[in-house]
Amino acid sequence: MAFQTINPTTNELIKSFDELTPESLENSVAQAKKSFNEWKRTDYKSRAQLLYKVAGLLREKKNELAKIITLEMGKLLSHAEGEIKLTAEIFDYYAKNAEVLLADKTLNPVHGKAFIRSSPIGVLLGIEPWNFPFYQVARFAAPNIMIGNAILIKHASNVPQCALAIQEIFDEAGAPNGLYTNLFLSEKRTSELIADPRIKGVSLTGSENAGKSVAMEAGKYIKKSVLELGGSDAFIILEDADIDKTVEWAVVGRINNNGQCCVAAKRFIAVESIADGFLKKFTEKMAALQIGDPVISTTNLGPLCTEEAAENIENQVKRAVKSGATVLLGGNRVDRDGAYMEATILTDVKSDNPAYYEEFFGPVALFFRVKGEKEAIELANDSPYGLGGSVFTQDIERGKRVADQIDTGMVFINHPTWTQADLPFGGTKGSGYGREMAELGLQEFVNKKLIRVSELSDPF
């Protein structure tokens, strides 16, 4: 398997890296196990000191790290800088809050005394995607290092320099050898690694097929897994929404990260009375996006992560049109070097069109019009995915009622689905299970150990 930096702005091969040898992999896993046995005995203060150092180095190196992100997967440079900022905030959040969130919980049993203690479980394997190459790693590594676990990371093959940069930051911060380890491994060998008895849990962010494979392997060996498998978020516009503000958020929600975001707004559902007005303004804003080099500050839409990704979404649009969809805007590759795709809006996507149920991982929006609130909720839920969603209305209580009826792990009112260190992140249905971030993300890979204290005279 090739681990390569290919600049998607030009499709130029920059650098290649070799896969780990079997001997190197064995040494890495053995060292991670050794590191865990030592790290689990450290106190929270020591663990927090490491995470604070990591956060400080991320901020110190923000500009150079952002350039690596943009080079490898095409993210707008300003957005890449924002990702580094968010990544540092995640490390700070867990360094500051983990000790309190993991504190013993006192119980009040009928007999005796008891409490629950959160204990680390061992070496964990994280399988991470390319679209947020620093943030995705942080939301898995930061809480679990604070718990006392050790981390192995199999990063995406197209962001090898990002993967190495994270490893170097941990090393520079003084992390014990083996506490955090980057692995250049093929998907096949990663799947085989899950069977290793030294691996006690696995977390994956990726495709639905990858999630099925990981869940199957983890289940086979009775290991905990957390899966975040993407989504097709509904963006509901009710008749009382502020249309101008909603359109602004609609463009941000769809085009963030060049459209390659699991919680991007992908299905725009407008009630009939305001559908035409919203669609007209949304189309104008999408058409006005400046496509270009992601390092240029005036660029609004950069390339997709790889040429293969651009080809895939172009073909996906063609299949949708062949099955009855209408191209209202875009629909084609951009006439320039690189993995570029036009900002695209599809309408007339019916339930017999395969595109109706698919995830479009790029700058393609699907637009639907419905009679009212009830139909909007039904359409939002008519999806195999259940990651996030949003509702736009000036009646907040109404927004809450609608949000309560949407079958997803997250719903935002008057904002596209978003992320921050102190909010849990995750979905349901085909979008996976488990949570990352905030307190819920801290509770996934822990042993909730019951400790009961009895007097010798107690009856039980």
pLDDT in tens, 28-64: 999 999 999 999 999 999 999 999 999 999 999 999 9
Which tens digit of pLDDT belongs to each residue from 233-243? 999 999 999 99
Is the pLDDT confidence value at 458 over 70? Answer: no
Segment 118-135 shows an average pLDDT of 98
pLDDT score, position 139: 97
Is the pLDDT confidence value at 153 over 80? Answer: yes
Q: How far is CA 437 from CA 43, 137, 180, in A?
A: 21, 11, 19
In the numeric block, the tokens 């895939």 are attached to 312
pLDDT score, position 243: 98
Is the pLDDT confidence value at 460 over 60? Answer: no
Question: Which class does domain 3-229+431-451 fall in?
Answer: alpha beta
Q: What is the mean pLDDT of the chain?
A: 97
C-alpha torsion angle, residues 317, 133, 185, 232 (rounded to 10): -30
Which tens digit of pLDDT belongs to each residue from 265-278? 999 999 999 999 99
Please state whether 230 falls in left (phi above 0), alpha (psi between -120 and 50) or beta: left
Is the pLDDT confidence value at 454 over 90? Answer: no
Q: Binning pLDDT at 50, 70 and 90, where does residue 456 land?
A: low
Is the pLDDT confidence value at 225 over 90? Answer: yes
Is the pLDDT confidence value at 207 over 70? Answer: yes
C-alpha torsion angle, residues 77, 81, 84, 89 (rounded to 10): -150
Segment 221-239 shows an average pLDDT of 97
Q: Which of 242, 316, 309, 335 is nearest to 74 (CA)?
A: 309
Segment 407-436 shows an average pLDDT of 97
pLDDT score, position 459: 59
Distance between alpha carbon 14 and the CA centroid of its chain, in Å? 26
Residues 354, 319: contact at Cβ < 8 Å? yes
Q: In b/e form, how buried is each residue of 102-140, taking b as 16+ CB within 10 angstroms?
A: beeeeeeeeeeeeebebebbbbbbbbbbbbbbbbbbbbb
pLDDT score, position 290: 98
Which tens digit of pLDDT belongs to each residue from 359-374? 999 999 999 999 999 9
Segment 91-96 shows an average pLDDT of 98
Assigned superfamily of 233-413: Aldehyde Dehydrogenase; Chain A, domain 2 (3.40.309.10)
Segment 417-427 shows an average pLDDT of 97
**Which residues contact residue 95 at a Cβ distance below 8 angstroms, ignoring those fewer than 6 apart?**
47, 48, 49, 51, 52, 55, 142, 146
Q: Active-site residue numbers?
A: 228, 262
Is the pLDDT confidence value at 396 over 80? Answer: yes
What's the pTM? 0.96
Q: Which of 164, 151, 136 is nearest to 71 (CA)?
A: 164
Is the pLDDT confidence value at 6 over 70? Answer: yes
Domain positions in the chain are 3-229+431-451, 233-413
Instruction: Please compute, for residue 125, the number of CA atoms within 13 A of its CA located in the half-sphere on the CB side.
Output: 31
pLDDT score, position 254: 98
Is the pLDDT confidence value at 111 over 90? Answer: no
